[in-house]
Structure 1
């Protein structure tokens, strides 16, 4: 019998988190009433997350080797945790811009400032235009919420 470890625990935890987010999207934010509501996009992403997590769980059961983690995988997880933590302090949108800036200049090393500015403008257009404007996703604003 295969041992139960982190390779199985993480997909199960992510599936559980996806179920919670889908429930919040359906019950508290609203999904669809003649048009998409604020919970539409988060609920879709949560459902995809549940499906992907279940698939990842079953894939880990087929693996025979001992789990190993490399530095690059942990950097992505640490970056996601930093965005979540920073979202409560300075807000999600400013934190996303800082994350993209940090990732391109520090992790990717050597990205020219011209490219960084273009990418930041594209991120701003997508996040603010599509998610905040069209889909009405309610982002946490942290300390900036009082100014809005």
Structure 2
């Protein structure tokens, strides 16, 4: 039984680094070919940062692949799925109520339910973090976040 679990677990451990390697190659190709890496006059082009991230992804996936031959089956507690699930819910809710309100609701729920902070700490921290997102990204850097379906109806 233990040998069977080890084989099944190692397949997934080998598959994930291979998929990351392939994804890194695809992103690197798009970054260099379609978007460009560097211009001698203006400097970095739009493919600069994706190219750097893809090289890092490729670089990390290679040792992860070789490490997968030594590893056993991974233990995946349900609590570990909260962060990816929260990220998915933020993305989905950003299409409905907008990105900034989605992040604010996420912070409120996370601090109150999972971190079990007091209401005072939860409200202050959530308000400060939301204000930082709004002032830095929307006002200073002029980045437009998705407004969602309901936010334009309210304002």
Is 1:57 aligned to 2:67, yes or no?
Answer: no
Is 1:81 aligned to 2:85, yes or no?
Answer: no
TM-score normalized by the length of structure 1: 0.67
Give ranges in structure 2 of 5+ residues lacking alignment.
Answer: 1-9, 37-41
Is the 1:12–1:57 Cα contact (8 Å) retained in structure 2?
A: yes
Distance in 2, Cα, partners of 1:102 & 1:55: 36
TM-score normalized by the length of structure 2: 0.64
Q: Tell me which of the two structures has the higher relative contact order, counting C-alpha pairs closer than 8 angstroms and 6 or more residues apart.
A: 1
Distance in 2, Cα, partners of 1:133 & 1:6: 39
1:128 counterpart (125, 134, 141): 134
- Rg (Cα) greater in structure: 2
Number of aligned positions between the proteins: 129
After superposition, residues 129-148 of structure 1 pair within 5 angstroms as: 129-143=135-149, 144-148=151-155
Distance in 1, Cα, partners of 2:56 & 2:94: 25
Distance in 2, Cα, partners of 1:12 & 1:132: 34
How far 1:19 sits from its partner (Å)?
Answer: 6.2
* Aligned residue in 1 for 2:15: 5
After superposition, residues 8-27 of structure 1 pair within 5 angstroms as: 8-9=18-19, 11-12=20-21, 15=24
Root mean square deviation of aligned Cα: 3.4
Is 1:68 aligned to 2:75, yes or no?
Answer: yes
Distance in 1, Cα, partners of 2:101 & 2:60: 32
